[in-house]
């Protein structure tokens, strides 16, 4: 390594004299990383580097010797030799030999990387413009990982932190000494997920799933970035992997799951306009401001303004729809997979009241949840739920089994008062085979199945039930 230091010092000396800012790091080489694969990659890198250095010394050495000695000013007379088959064969064969010697270990490492053996943990990594989503497939843990560097640091209004641009709100937490498989895909454009210390870089391609794997040896925090140009904020979607011991990982899984449940409860809380505005601003800056800008004015021609726009001050249903479902064929994503109902309600409320939009309208999480449930959606889901939960008794055609299970076609319960209908599904009918479905079905599923029953088989009552109504039913549903 001594020679390398000298070469390096030489390079720096040439460039030197420049006194540069204090965060000097002068990192000049690849990291050996923290996995077996990353170390063999590093070794290969160093071998090929030194091979190149050796060839360079020979070739450039001959060239410089010749340039010094065979110059006209030193009286050199030009020789007349040319074309020599022996020499030409030799300088073809030797490089082939060197290449074969390089190819063997390279192929071996590559084959190791493609080891298909079973992994202990599967994590789906999804690239979004411009953030990552991690789904732990065996744990029902799923979250987004956003850049957490404050805007003021990027725009030089405050000092940059140590991990400037390489820090996120939610780390990808994984255990050490465990084979972890990453399943990579993307929601919009192609991204590429790279952590140098793991020597894992794989493209995340919309509509396809790529695979990569790693076994991390040492606990630590490993930082990387998206490496495929993915639009405006390509430079602002870092990857942060936190490797912890197996025990810590187990407790992290437990607390994360508990936190997710707690968050779900927020949806049923009643929200004031001020609370929604405060929450909405946070969400807006995280999820919307990159395109629509913090001042809501957008970027003309690329991203529309929200300030005073027909969407933000017009029909609330259209506003909710575009946030929930996105606008196909544009950069406007469907946020239903990214934000919770609370977050979407808050951000819509914020957009309708910030920057002088002042509609005064508050959109509640419950309203938002309902918006996602149009009649078609309710009927489609309702049929599925019916066939799963009801048809065994009431029969797929709704006619029941006379004497045992009542018919639902044209009868009082399905054509009459909707409150009674909801109540019997939610709370069941004591003393009969009719169970309380609040413990078995979600509010959405109950709303869907009640709607289905009231409109299928020629019942055609025409009304529908929103999940929020079911959720707040006496005793409530799950």
Partner 1 sequence: MSTADIAADQHDDHHDHGPAKGLTRWIYTTNHKDIGSMYLWFSLAMFLVGGCMALVIRAELFQPGLQLVEPGFFNQMTTMHGLIMVFGAVMPAFVGLANWMVPMMIGAPDMALPRMNNWSFWILPFAFGMLLLTLFMDGGAPNFGWTFYAPLSTTYAPPSVTFFIFAVHMMGISSIMGAINIVATILNMRAPGMTLMKMPLFVWTWLITAYLLIAVMPVLAGVVTMMLMDIHFGTSFFDAAGGGDPVLFQHVFWFFGHPEVYIMILPAFGIVSAIIPTFARKKLFGYASMVYATASIAFLSFIVWAHHMFTVGMPLAGELFFMFTTMLIAVPTGVKVFNWVATMWRGSMTFETPMLFAIAFVILFTIGGFSGLMLAIAPVDFQYHDTYFVVAHFHYVLVPGAIFSIMAAVYYWLPKWTGHQLNEKAGKFHFWMSFIGVNVTFFPMHFIGLAGMPRRIPDYALQFADFNAIASVGAFIFGLSQLIFVWNVIQNIRSGKKAEARCWEGAEGLEWEVPSPAPYHTFSTPPQIDGAK
Give the residue with the Cβ less far from partner 1, 81 or 261: 81
Applying the rule CB under 8 A, the residues between 320 and 339 that interact with partner 1 are 329, 331
To partner 1, the closest distance from the beta carbon of 182 in angstroms equals 11
Helix axes 341-353, 273-283, angle to 10 degrees: 100
Give the residue with the Cβ less far from partner 1, 229 or 401: 229
To partner 1, the closest distance from the beta carbon of 464 in angstroms equals 30
Contacts of residue 223, Cβ cutoff 8 Å, sequence gap at least 6: 163, 166, 167, 195, 238, 239, 240, 241
Give the residue with the Cβ less far from partner 1, 52 or 380: 52
To partner 1, the closest distance from the beta carbon of 181 in angstroms equals 13
To partner 1, the closest distance from the beta carbon of 241 in angstroms equals 14
Dist CA 94 CA 100 (whole Å): 10
Applying the rule CB under 8 A, the residues between 208 and 237 that interact with partner 1 are 208, 210-211, 223-236
Stretch that binds partner 1, among 91-99, 245-253, 278-286, 443-451 (CB under 8 A): 91-99
- Sign of torsion, CA 174 175 176 180? negative
Stretch that binds partner 1, among 74-82, 137-145, 268-276, 343-351 (CB under 8 A): 74-82
The binding track of 163-192 with respect to partner 1, each residue x by CB under 8 A or -, is xxxx---------------------xxx-x
To partner 1, the closest distance from the beta carbon of 40 in angstroms equals 8
Candidate residues 99, 317, 318, 433; the one interacting with partner 1 per rule CB under 8 A: 99
To partner 1, the closest distance from the beta carbon of 215 in angstroms equals 16
Size of the site for partner 1 (CB under 8 A): 106
To partner 1, the closest distance from the beta carbon of 14 in angstroms equals 8
Dist CA 365 CA 356 (whole Å): 23
Applying the rule CB under 8 A, the residues between 100 and 139 that interact with partner 1 are 102-103, 106-107, 109-111, 113-114, 129
Candidate residues 6, 9, 59, 380; the one interacting with partner 1 per rule CB under 8 A: 59
Give the residue with the Cβ less far from partner 1, 45 or 415: 45
Binding status of residue 1 toward partner 1 by CB under 8 A: no
User: Cα-flanking dihedrals φ and ψ of residue 393, to 5°?
Assistant: -95, -55
Give the residue with the Cβ less far from partner 1, 210 or 372: 210
Stretch that binds partner 1, among 46-54, 273-281, 306-314, 359-367 (CB under 8 A): 46-54
Q: How many CA atoms lie within 13 A of 302 on its CB side?
A: 9
Task: Find tokens 């009431």 and name the residue.
Answer: 394
Give the residue with the Cβ less far from partner 1, 88 or 412: 88
From its phi and psi, is residue 152 left (phi > 0), alpha (psi between -120 and 50) or beta? alpha
Task: Find tokens 């025990």 and name the residue.
Answer: 247
User: In Å, how far are 130, 151, 207, 327, 411 from 148, measured between CA atoms?
Assistant: 12, 9, 28, 27, 58
Candidate residues 205, 289, 305, 424; the one interacting with partner 1 per rule CB under 8 A: 205
Give the residue with the Cβ less far from partner 1, 142 or 210: 210
- Sign of torsion, CA 39 40 44 50? positive
Report CA Rg, the chain: 32
Applying the rule CB under 8 A, the residues between 339 and 378 that interact with partner 1 are none
Dist CA 120 CA 138 (whole Å): 10
Dist CA 42 CA 33 (whole Å): 8
In this structure, the strands spanning 131-136 and 141-145 are: antiparallel
Candidate residues 86, 92, 117, 261; the one interacting with partner 1 per rule CB under 8 A: 92
Give the residue with the Cβ less far from partner 1, 83 or 376: 83
Dist CA 304 CA 295 (whole Å): 12
Residue among 309, 299, 335 at smallest CA distance from 320? 335
Stretch that binds partner 1, among 49-57, 270-278, 397-405, 443-451 (CB under 8 A): 49-57
Can you read off the two tokens belonging to residue 267? Answer: 């949806």
Give the residue with the Cβ less far from partner 1, 240 or 363: 240
Binding status of residue 32 toward partner 1 by CB under 8 A: no
In this structure, the strands spanning 210-215 and 200-204 are: unpaired
């Amino acid at each position: 390594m001594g020679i390398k230091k000298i070469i390096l010092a030489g390079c720096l000396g040439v460039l030197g004299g420049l006194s540069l800012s204090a965060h000097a790091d002068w990192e000049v080489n690849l990291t050996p990383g923290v996995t077996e694969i990353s170390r063999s990659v590093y070794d290969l890198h160093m071998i090929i580097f030194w091979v190149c250095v050796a060839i360079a010394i020979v070739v450039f050495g001959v060239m410089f010797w010749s340039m010094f000695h065979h110059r006209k000013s030193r009286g050199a007379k030009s020789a007349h030799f040319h074309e020599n088959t022996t020499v030409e064969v030799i300088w073809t064969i030797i490089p082939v030999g060197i290449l074969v010697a390089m190819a063997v270990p390279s192929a071996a490492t590559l084959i190791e990387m493609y080891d298909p053996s079973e992994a202990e943990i599967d994590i789906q990594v999804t690239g979004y413009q411009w953030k990552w989503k991690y789904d732990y497939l065996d744990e029902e843990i799923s979250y987004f990982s956003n850049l957490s560097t404050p805007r003021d640091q990027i725009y030089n209004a405050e000092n940059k932190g140590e991990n400037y641009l390489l820090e996120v709100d939610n780390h990808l937490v994984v255990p050490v000494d465990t084979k972890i498989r990453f399943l990579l895909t993307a929601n919009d454009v192609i991204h590429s997920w790279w952590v140098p210390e793991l020597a894992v870089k794989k493209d995340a391609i919309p509509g396809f799933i790529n695979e990569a794997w790693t076994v991390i040896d040492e606990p630590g925090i490993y930082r990387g970035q998206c490496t495929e140009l993915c639009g405006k904020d390509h430079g602002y979607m870092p990857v942060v992997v936190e490797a912890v011991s197996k025990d810590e990982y187990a407790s992290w899984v437990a607390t994360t799951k508990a936190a997710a449940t707690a968050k779900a409860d927020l949806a049923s809380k009643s929200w004031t306009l001020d609370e929604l505005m405060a929450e909405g601003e946070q969400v807006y800056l995280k999820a919307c401001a990159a395109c629509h800008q913090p001042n809501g004015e957008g970027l003309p021609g690329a991203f529309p303004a929200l300030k005073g726009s027909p969407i933000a001050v017009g029909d609330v249903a259209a506003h909710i729809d575009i946030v929930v479902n996105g606008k196909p064929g544009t950069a406007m994503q469907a946020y239903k997979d990214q934000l919770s109902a609370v977050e979407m309600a808050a951000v819509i409320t914020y957009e309708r009241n910030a920057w002088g939009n002042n509609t005064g309208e508050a959109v509640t999480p419950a309203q938002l949840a309902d918006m996602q449930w149009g009649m078609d959606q309710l009927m489609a889901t309702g049929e599925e739920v019916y066939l799963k939960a009801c048809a065994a008794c009431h029969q797929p055609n709704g006619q029941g089994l006379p004497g045992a299970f009542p018919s639902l076609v044209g009868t009082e319960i399905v054509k009459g008062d909707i409150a009674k209908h909801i109540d019997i599904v939610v709370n069941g009918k004591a003393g009969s085979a009719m169970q309380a479905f609040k413990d078995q079905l979600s509010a959405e599923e109950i709303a869907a199945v009640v709607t289905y029953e009231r409109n299928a088989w020629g019942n055609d009552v025409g009304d529908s039930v929103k999940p929020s109504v079911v959720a707040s039913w006496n005793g409530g549903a799950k």
